[in-house]
Amino acid sequence: MTVKYITNPRRKHSRFAVVISKKVLKSAVHRNRVRRRVYEVIRAELPMLKDNHDVALIIFTADFLHMEYKSIQNEVKRLFSQANLYK
């Protein structure tokens, strides 16, 4: 997984997108399941994140379908801290 972000001064709150290609997971059901799990981690981290950023999380591997919640949470936190998105 990788994160792309940009500061958006026109916005009061940050926006997030989770991108998973059909090449990674063929089934829309599986792609949506991974998206929901990642969005839940983002929702839990939202109070600790800086405002006014547009953030895209791009998933390159199908491993996220079978990962535990804690592993996904650790990966997202690691990427956000590397990107300096925490307050």
If you ran DSSP here, which 8-state letter would residue 54 be given?
A: E
Q: Tokens standing for 55?
A: 């953030």
Please state, for a pLDDT cut of 70, what percent of the chain lies above it: 100
What's the rounded mean pLDDT across residues 78-87? 95
Which positions ≥6 away from 52 have C-beta within 8 Å?
Answer: 7, 8, 9, 11, 12, 13, 14
What's the confidence (pLDDT) of residue 38? 97
What's the confidence (pLDDT) of residue 8? 93
Q: What is the pTM of this model?
A: 0.92
What's the rounded mean pLDDT across residues 10-31? 96
Q: Which residues pair with 57 in a beta bridge?
A: 3, 18
Q: Which of 65, 64, 51 is nearest to 16 (CA)?
A: 51
What's the rounded mean pLDDT across residues 33-47? 97
What's the rounded mean pLDDT across residues 50-60? 95
